[in-house]
Amino acid sequence: MAKETKKTPQDESKKQDQLKNYQKDHTGKPLTTNQGMKVNDTNNSLKSGERGSTLLEDFLLREKITSFDHERIPERIVHARGSAAHGVFELYEAIPEYTKAGIFNDTSRKTPVFVRFSTVAGSKGSPDLARDVRGFATKFYTEEGTWDLVGNNMPIFFIQDAMKFPDLIHSVKPEPNNEIPQAASAHDTFYDFVSHTPETLHNHIWVMSDRAIPRSLRMMEGFGIHTFRMINDKGEAHFVKFHWKPILGVHSVTWEEAVKINGADADFHRRDLWDAIEDGQFPEWELGLQIVPEADEHKFDFDLLDPTKLIPEEMVPVKIVGKMTLNKNPENFFAETEQVAFLPGHIVPGLDFTNDPLLQGRLFSYRDTQLSRLGGPNFDQIPINRPVAESHNNQRDGHMQTNVPKGNTAYFPNSMSGGCPHLSKMSEGAFHSYEERIDAKKIRGRSESFNDHFSQPALFYRSLSEWEQAHVADAYTFELGKCNQAHIKSRMLYLINEIDGDLAKKVADGLGMEVPKNIDQPVNQAIGADADVEKHQPRKKKNYLDKSTALSQAETKFDSISTRKVAVLAADGFDHNNYEKMRKALEKKGAKLMIIAPHGGEITCNENKKHAVDAAIATTESVLFDAVYIPGGEKSVKALLKVAKFTKFVNEAFKYCKAVAADNEGEELIDNSAVADHKSDKAVFVNAKPDDFKKAIAQHRNWERMKVAETIAV
């Protein structure tokens, strides 16, 4: 029996009310054909005799099979792998001086949202922990129409002009002859492209950093990337960049873990998002704005229209204006997560675009792609895509028209329908494009102000902590190590050297190569054949800011253990007292303790109580947890010592710099592991206070352990 649906606070929004009109609950209902006719057998086809051939007449078979044959639609050409959730956006303070958009003026509104997170390169079934950019697309169902903020978890993009997008994506996707590798950038074609397109280097170094392997979708930032405009009711414009800041801080796994997680649980991020929401631990982000007056457009060392550049927060602070909470999982993956269509062109009065050439191209692409992906122009009638604001116009017909427009006019102007649907004045809330002054020659080209490709990658690298820098060097070494073509690796080393000499040296050592001093210049093939190539050579890097702390994950929040998963290694006879003390202390702060035992089912503690096992050791892996705890109990620990995987479990937690704690006899498992020689490590605890363990988990990792960890084999 399906669960009875109770109305919870997270069900209370105009969007949820609207979606309910389209939901189908099969509870207690008879099976029917699509036409509503009751069916008495859905297991056997209609045959000419018991052992005879199947008859063409079998309309029940044909309806069932035809529907099945067409269950799949084309997956997204990029961002195919995704997970989504419903939620709400609430504004902290009105900002009428910047924008007249209702969502930014009414603090009493709870604007419904639907957010889809994604990886970019892999197919729909690819593993979650690929090294990749993450999509972070938000649909705001506002009272003035739907606004889509279709962003990523990195504040910049690979290319400066939409014209290059197919090249970028073709280079990173599996190679066309053998369709290898899946969901991975570590191959020749990608680096062939990157090494000839220096504008990619900034986004690329972010992908080499820990940002590309988040611990959770709930622990990553989001960015609108492009500079947009906000328009107030006087018609004045400000430039704006959008930021999502996660309440839980920004945290990542290491690359080695990512590789293992992909095998142990390919749905790691999807499951984590789903579970957190089901557990009532609702993911939250604050929305921040970087606002730049129009008059300051040319005040920066970079061009605000160039999507490969960020505005350091030290130069323009991020103003926090509201909070988004994801509080409801989709009812149906296909109907909602798969069929949702985000369009950067969906904006509302009070917001507008700029001339960023990447954004301009996106305004075309997203509507176009839905035509083949969702089958026609009526995709906005699919329940998840319907606005909550009423829509009326003279667009008609097409595949899958689900509305039934009344009347005999479908044109404007008309008199026969009283001029309806009628136009609205700006004062009545109509959209009006910002009147930007234009006086220019029509050219196919690129502004020279877009030519600095090294200053910001260098700023990013300088801003990272030592452990983050080490991860970046390892990532370049891994990725280039997977390339076969020496000339491509050599070009990459040359370019990395332009970003940072020390980084290039480390990568070259890892590859067993030299950093080339004098390869041919990184001729910018990203410009046209007739352009003045000399003029478009990338400039040497500048240093307009030594460091930007906001770029480093070492500067994020470390104050919460909420939703952190702690593995409790235990068998029959484990110490109930130890366990309960730890459980209460950690669960009070929102962590989730899970008992990992030699077998599934239940185990019995030393007080003869039964405890449900969350996972048998054979079915789980250390990399899926944030910390490990071993309670005492002689019998329990003896049983753990007999199964080598428990020792490996501890070794792996230690290797990946996580907090490890043991009480009483639990110490014997530590002594049997690689942790034995490191009991003084600041995130290893024997008979310590749960509070100390808790603080170490909140720190995410003890990165100081990295050098020691390298020596541990697992």
Residues near ligand HDE (CB under 6 A): 76-79, 82, 116, 118, 135, 137, 150-152, 157, 162, 165, 225, 307, 340-342, 358, 361-362, 365-366, 369
Where do the H-state alpha helices sit in 244-356?
Answer: 255-264, 268-278
**What's the closest the beta carbon of residue 116 comes to ligand HDE, in angstroms?**
4
373 is in an annotated binding site: yes
437 is in an annotated binding site: no
**What's the closest the beta carbon of residue 211 comes to ligand HDE, in angstroms?**
14
Q: Which residue do the tokens 């109990």 mark? A: 633
Residue 40: count of CB within 10 angstroms of its CB: 7
The C-alpha atoms of residue 621 and residue 619 are separated, in whole angstroms, by 7
The C-alpha atoms of residue 101 and residue 640 are separated, in whole angstroms, by 60
DSSP state of 504: H
- Name which of 541, 503, 388 is nearest 16 in CA terms: 388
The answer to whether the beta carbons of residues 115 and 136 sit under 8 Å apart is: yes
Nearer to ligand HDE, 32 or 372 (CB): 372
**What's the closest the beta carbon of residue 314 comes to ligand HDE, in angstroms?**
23
State yes or no: is 152 an active-site residue: yes
Catalytic residue among 86, 105, 152, 226: 152
Residue 619: count of CB within 10 angstroms of its CB: 11
The C-alpha atoms of residue 681 and residue 672 are separated, in whole angstroms, by 16
Tokens at 608, concatenated: 């003869």
Residue nearest ligand HDE (C-beta atom) = 135
The C-alpha atoms of residue 175 and residue 196 are separated, in whole angstroms, by 18
The answer to whether the beta carbons of residues 162 and 175 sit under 8 Å apart is: no
The C-alpha atoms of residue 142 and residue 388 are separated, in whole angstroms, by 7
**What's the closest the beta carbon of residue 652 comes to ligand HDE, in angstroms?**
33
Tokens at 92, concatenated: 């902290």
Helices 455-463 and 486-499: crossing angle in degrees, nearest 10, is 70
**What's the closest the beta carbon of residue 373 comes to ligand HDE, in angstroms?**
6
Catalytic residue among 21, 26, 43, 79: 79
Q: Half-sphere exposure of 211 toward its Cβ, with a 13 Å CA cutoff? A: 27
Each as own residue / partner, the long-range contacts of residues 6-11 (CB below 8 Å, 24 or more positions apart, any chain) are: 9/327, 10/86, 10/87, 10/88, 10/327, 10/328, 11/328
215 is in an annotated binding site: no
228 is in an annotated binding site: no
366 is in an annotated binding site: yes
The answer to whether the beta carbons of residues 467 and 255 sit under 8 Å apart is: no
**What's the closest the beta carbon of residue 339 comes to ligand HDE, in angstroms?**
10
The dihedrals phi and psi of 554, each to the nearest 5 degrees, come to: -70, -15
CA angle 286, 390, 227 (to 5 degrees): 40
The C-alpha atoms of residue 269 and residue 258 are separated, in whole angstroms, by 11
Q: Which residue do the tokens 């730049």 mark? A: 292
491 is in an annotated binding site: no
The answer to whether the beta carbons of residues 625 and 604 sit under 8 Å apart is: no
Nearer to ligand HDE, 210 or 338 (CB): 338
Nearer to ligand HDE, 526 or 657 (CB): 526
Nearer to ligand HDE, 202 or 362 (CB): 362
Tokens at 139, concatenated: 């649909």
Each as own residue / partner, the long-range contacts of residues 375-378 (CB below 8 Å, 24 or more positions apart, any chain) are: 375/73, 375/399, 375/400, 376/400, 378/402
Tokens at 56, concatenated: 């063409």
Q: Which residues are catalytic?
A: 79, 152
Q: Which residues are annotated as a binding site for heme?
A: 76, 116, 165, 362, 366, 373
